[in-house]
Amino acid sequence: MNDSTRIPVIVGVGQITDTVSPPEEARSPIDLIRDAALLAAHDSGAGEQLYRNLDSITVIRLFGDSVPRFKSPFGSPANPPWSLALRLGAQPGDLVYPPAGGDSPQVMLARACERIAQGQSQAALVAGGEALRTELAARRAGLKLQWDEDAPKVPDTLEAAPSMYTAAEEAHGMRSAIAMYALIGQALRAVDGQSMDQYRAKSAELFARFAAVAKDNPLATRRDGCSAADLATVSAENPYVGFPYTKRMVASAYIDQAAAVLVVSEARADELSIPTAKRVYLHGTAHAHDSWFVSERSHLHTSPAMRLTASHALAQSGKRLDEMAFLDLYSCFPSAVQMACRELGIAAGDARGLTVTGGLPFFGGPGNNYVTHAIAQMVDCVRKRPGSWGLVGANGGLVTKQSMGVYSTVRPATPFRIDDAAIQAEIDRAQALVLAASPIGPATVETYSVLHGKQGPETGLIFGRLDATGERFVANTPSDPKTMAALEAIDCLRLPGFVKQHDGRNIFTPDFSRVSPLASLLSPEYLSSL
């Protein structure tokens, strides 16, 4: 710890939220990121001179380059970190555009710290942003924006991640975060023995606390302070998107937001006369992933990767969870937070709160980049209370990839290191489930959801178990109005039925005769009210 050229320290953070600029005047994603980076340089006290010798720039992957349905009609830069470097007047040798995932900001900040600790870097920028609000407004106005940018070389994309979905999941309409997080949420409800009404109420109460934080955050995009009743009540303004979740319970993607974090060596910070009060350290970190495919996880309600990465990051920092003054848990859906609470042993109503920003539904969910904002906000929190500690939890995929970071103004007593390989090895020892390839026969619902479109319920999704063998299968239900209505009107967990293949898909037909109130629920009067 005597070599200050190998001690990484965060010295500047910047955040931007734009909710008002008309599309013809609004900034592109790279322009938003540039402005956040300039704010970070100003925040450090060193100003733009900090960028003259910047040797690494990481730009978190744009959502349009990550999710096909979000592909921008206006194009995107061929090399986002190079485009950003050009705007900043920097010439770094390390230009990184990592794989998609909400975990990537924490992973990339840890990478930047590790490169400094290994003597490979002295100054790095990790930044990202989205302009999906502008993009949507421009499309509606018939504008033609130009966001394509050529580059003389391609960025380092690191190791490409495989698809998050199996062929069977895709064939049954489960290729969406909405589908999988809803299925996981219902599995959590089953384990907790909650009724549908109880789970909906608990989810709404959980996120009402997030909304209250966003109400007081000038950078949040939704500041109306939704109550639990607002979140739980289904209406034209708050429809189901994936039963049991309503629109206001999920990440808000159509936002213009950007954030940036500057990390340098202590030696560089000293050269630039950056005040001690600005310096924040990453004390502990870990990254791992659970079984890659949701349908192959033995237990849908657990995340060993969450539990182990949090435990490792805390142990590395020499601190306990109860010593964290601040927490920010990834909150794309209620089930992500509920899983984290279960795995880390945190009460949903913890007095510290579970977010420092307001969370993805209320602060904003800028694609893969939310955690850059969470880190920036956490840096501000611990600066305001010198000597305090904060934990940031980052989640990527479908409660798949987990990364944790512990932050404080306290100077570390030990060198920075990443040593989480043993965590992944422990997780990998658990054997993935093998699904029934051609299920047929009596079966029982393990978890379920209903995906909604603009006209209402469209697709019933089932993870089930064959009665004869206990094997899991994925399936759809019949899509007639009565079945769709019944799936949302009654508790279908552990409901019996029959599964068989039809036109390349597994179709599970629920046996609603086992449910006594069904006749009234499926009456013409009830159906006409939907």
pLDDT tens for 281-292 read: 999 999 999 999
Environment class of residue 277 by beta-carbon count within 10 Å: exposed (0-12), middle (13-18) or buried (19+)?
exposed
Report pLDDT for 528.
46
| Domain stop point among 362, 393, 428 | 428
Positions of E strands within 110-196:
123-131
Write out the residue range of the structural domain in which residue 411 sits.
4-164+251-428
* CATH number of the domain that residue 522 is part of: 2.40.50.840
Rounded-to-integer distance, Cα 97 and Cα 256, Å: 20
Q: Is the domain of 384 the same as that of 473?
A: no
Please state the domain count of the chain.
2
Does residue 187 sit within a domain? no
Report pLDDT for 525.
45
| Domain stop point among 370, 401, 428 | 428
Does residue 48 sit within a domain? yes
Q: Is the domain of 154 the same as that of 49?
A: yes
Report pLDDT for 160.
79
User: Which residues have CB under 8 Å from 503's CB, separation 6+?
Assistant: none
Rounded-to-integer distance, Cα 525 and Cα 126, Å: 56
The closest of 335, 346, 330 to 294, measured between CA atoms, is: 335
Does residue 285 sit within a domain? yes
User: Which residues have CB under 8 Å from 173's CB, separation 6+?
Assistant: 179, 451, 459, 461, 476
Residues of the chain scoring pLDDT < 70: 1, 516-530
Report pLDDT for 435.
94
* CATH number of the domain that residue 318 is part of: 3.40.47.10
| Domain stop point among 376, 402, 428 | 428
Report pLDDT for 52.
85
Q: Is the domain of 28 the same as that of 134?
A: yes
Report pLDDT for 527.
43
Does residue 522 sit within a domain? yes
How are beta strands 389-396 and 326-328 bridged, if at all?
parallel
